[in-house]
Structures are given as structure tokens and as C-alpha cells.
Amino acid sequence: MHPAATALAATRLAFDAVEGLTRVVEGMHANIAAGAPPLGRGTDGRTRGVTRLVYTSIRVVNAGARAALDRGLALVPPGGREPDARSAALAALNGVVGDHLAATQNPLAIPMRLRQEGEPRPRLLLLIHGLCMNDRQWRWNGHDHGAALARELDLTPLYLHYNTGRHVSENGRELAERLEDLLAEWPVRDAELTILAHSMGGLVARSACHDAAALGHAWPERVRRIVFLGTPHHGAPLERGGNRLETLLGASPYLAPLARLGALRSAGITDLRYGNVREEDWWELDRFTRHGDRRTPTPLPDGVECHALAGTRDVLVPVRSALGIHRDPARTLPFPEAQRWVGEGLDHFALLDHAEVYARLRAIMTPDAPPRGRRTRAAS
């Protein structure tokens, strides 16, 4: 993105923040002025009389400035590739409020795209990054699983870049469609696909496989294996903790406006509460209210060799969640024990560069390795 366009788009987001903050402040002001009790319901969040006129004026001025900005933004030409630091910051921003950026057509919203490294080969490796990250961040502390595996095993790496703030199911559906087009046009006939997914990327991979099966796509027949690195198959405790805090804030009319700040977190983040992969998992639910796990159990893709790797020091994704284990047997994902692996002393991001993890990946993906999957297809 052109630097000027980046600045203008960021300013547009700032106008959105002013609007949101104005609602928070007015809500607290209204409850204080009305003498609301410390617990229970407050007012409708709107002030009265001259005070209301002041808040309305702020909104009008903010909206006018934003409209002028939008006209200027339309005149800025698109740019080329962004520096890595700015790309990382943009990826983090999309993870937090990417659904809002997409809904408001803000140019800061990341469009889904696939980046290919090297010549087309019979074996493809699709790498799907996690929340608040981008396709360049597979290079971690100087090591890139995709590049290393390509050198040693003659693979063509494909790096997915996507807006992690959107619902997992929305990204899964778009990825399914892109893979259908990509593999239909791949110059090497009957190419084999392996998916390597980190964190949220594993949920996106499962969502894409589920949608592809429902839509009758052909590409799932090309998938040999999926390797999940620290994927929150059954959710992440930090998001559940944030949801509980939001509920507590809502119990007081004086604190309830602050709960609106929590409602700024993206759909992608709230999907991590329990590990949503399907539209039915969140459809018609208020994602900011506290409710139990209402997911429809979604199995691992049929006929695909699936591996789950976890780290004992991963504070973001517990080992049981990363291994697909749930207290309800109907929700447990049936990874064979030989295909569950736990790295002693590894945290969430060590899974991206640790030598033991890479050795495990290389062994899993080595050609002519014995079948390891739940059920493998016979060669045609």
C-alpha cells in the first residue's frame, strides 16, 4: 500500500475510534447524571438537553472529517510491497479489528492471497499463519519451515496471507474457493497437497476442508496430510477470560460502557473462545455475551493424514486443546496417538523455529514414508 494511503486509512480508523469512544463516555455520563444504582440496568446510554447536543456535535464533526478523508483516499495510487515491520503491524491490526476494517471497506483490511515460492512441483506445501500474523512471519529467528522443507524435500511452498480478524468460517470458505481454482490450473497434473497450519491457521484449514466437502470441490482429494502447530481446536483460555471480564463489567451501569471497548475485538478473536470453524458455530449468537460451547462437532477431514503438535509452555493454547482432546468424547478429534506430539519446554512461537519441531515435520513429509493417517486413499 502507498505510504500516503496507509496514513489516510489509519486516520479513517482513528475516526471510527473517536465515534466508539464518544459512545463510551456519553454512556458513563448518562448513568452518572441519572443517579443509576451501582448494580443493575442503567440508562439507554444517551444524555439529555445541552449535554446531548455536545455529544451530537462531536459525532457530526467527526463524520464530516471522515467524509473528507475518504475523498482524499480515493485519489491516492496503490503502492507496492510494504516493509516487513509495517506488514507485521498491519497484520496485528487486522487480527484485532480486521472484521471492522473489512466491513467498512478500509484499505487497511488485508485481502486474502497466496504467495508461491519456486517452480511448480508435484508436491505442494500450503502454509497458513495464525492470528495477528502474516505470510512473511513464517520466518522466525532466521528459520522458515516452508523454505527449509522446500530445499530438502523438493516441495513448492504456498504461503497464505489473510485477514485474521474475520470469522474463521469466512476465511475458510474463501480459502476453499481459491484452492479449487488453484489446483484446477496447477501445471503439474495430480499434484499432492500438504497443509502446515499454525494456531488459528489450523481452524481455517479445517473450515476450508469442511466447506469444500459440502460444496463438492475436487481439491480435497489432493490433500495428503495436514499438520497442526499449536492449533486451538477447542479454544483458547485468554479469549474465554476476556469474555468473563466483559460480563462482569456489564453488571454495573457505571462500568457497562467500558464493556463496549471489549466489543471492539474482532470476530476472529471471539471465534477462538471455543474454536469455531463453521458458520453455524456463531450464527445468530451475540458473540460478546457469555454462553457455553455451542459448536457443531466437526471431524477431521476424511481420508487425510492429520498430525497435532503442541508445546508444554504454550500459555496461549493448552496442550489438550492443541491435541484435539475434549472432556466430551463426541468433541475429541481422533488424532492417532502416534500423530500427537508434545514438545517439552516449547511455547507457542517456538513451534515455528525449534529444531525438534522441524525434524518432526521433515519426518512426516519425507516421500515414501509409511502411511500415518487415519485412513489413506489408495493410489490411483
Interval 279-320: pLDDT, tens = 999 988 876 676 788 899 999 999 999 999 999 999 899 999
Is there a domain that residue 380 lies in?
no
| pLDDT value for 194 | 98
Query: Residue 106 falls within a domain, yes or no?
Result: yes
Q: Say whether both 16 and 132 belong to one domain.
A: no
Is residue 294 a part of any domain in this protein? Answer: yes
Domain end, chosen from 53, 80, 107, is at 80
Domain contains 280: yes
What is residue 298's three-state secondary structure? coil
188-234 confidence digits (pLDDT tens): 999 999 999 999 999 999 999 999 999 999 999 999 999 999 999 99
Encode burial over 22-40: b for 16+ CB neighbours within 10 A, e otherwise. Answer: bbbebbbbbbeeeebeeee
> Residue 24 domain-assigned?
yes
Least confident of 165-179, 214-228, 247-261: 247-261
142 within domain boundaries: yes
Are 64 and 173 members of one domain?
Answer: no
pLDDT of residue 114: 97
pLDDT at 57: 52
Which residues form the domain of 32? 3-80
> What's the CA gap between 26 and 246, in Å, rounded?
19
Give the pLDDT of residue 52.
55
Grid coordinates belonging to 101:
476494517
Residue 380: band (very low, low, confident or very high) from pLDDT cuts 50, 70, 90? very low
Overall domain count for the chain? 2
Q: How confident is the model at residue 112 (pLDDT cuts 50, 70, 90)?
A: very high
Q: Which residues make beta-bridge pairs with 198?
A: 229
Q: How far apart (Å, rounded) are the C-alpha atoms in residues 60 and 19?
A: 10
| Last residue of one domain, picked from the residues 80, 102, 124 | 80
Residue 63 domain-assigned (yes or no): yes
* Whole-angstrom distance, CA of residue 268 vs CA of residue 132: 10
Same domain, 45 and 142: no
Same-domain pairing of 43 and 91: no
Whether the per-residue pLDDT at 111 is higher than 80: the answer is yes
Last residue of a domain, one of 80, 105, 124: 80
pLDDT at position 107 is: 83
The predicted pLDDT at position 140 comes to 94
356: left (phi over 0), alpha (psi -120 to 50) or beta: alpha
Q: Are residues 76 and 97 in the same domain?
A: no
Does 56 share its domain with 183?
no
pLDDT of residue 338: 96
Cell 530445499 sits at which residue?
Answer: 151
pLDDT of residue 278: 97
**Together in a domain, 69 and 126:** no
Segment 124-143 mean pLDDT: 96
Residues 63, 144: one domain?
A: no
For residue range 44-74, list pLDDT tens digits in order: 556 656 555 554 654 554 455 455 545 544 5
State whether 76 and 116 are in the same domain: no
**Spatial contact of 188 and 154, defined as CB atoms under 8 Å apart:** no
**Are residues 234 and 128 part of one domain?**
yes
Q: What is the dihedral of CA 357, 169, 97, 74, to 10 degrees?
A: 110
pLDDT digits (tens, 9 = 90+) for 338-375: 999 999 999 999 999 999 999 999 999 998 654 333 33
> What's the rounded mean pLDDT across residues 131-158?
96
> Counting Cβ atoms within 10 Å, is residue 85 exposed (0-12), middle (13-18) or buried (19+)?
exposed
Mean pLDDT of 256-269: 63
- 75, 88: one domain: no
pLDDT tens, residue by residue, 23-47: 545 555 455 555 555 444 555 556 6
b or e along 225-247 (b: 16 or more beta carbons within 10 Å of the residue's beta carbon)? bbbbbbbbbbbbeebeebbeebe
Output the pLDDT for position 87. Answer: 84
pTM reported for the whole predicted model: 0.76
Domain containing residue 331: CATH number: 3.40.50.1820
Establish if 211 belongs to a structural domain.
yes
Same domain, 151 and 212: yes
Mean pLDDT of all residues belonging to the chain: 80
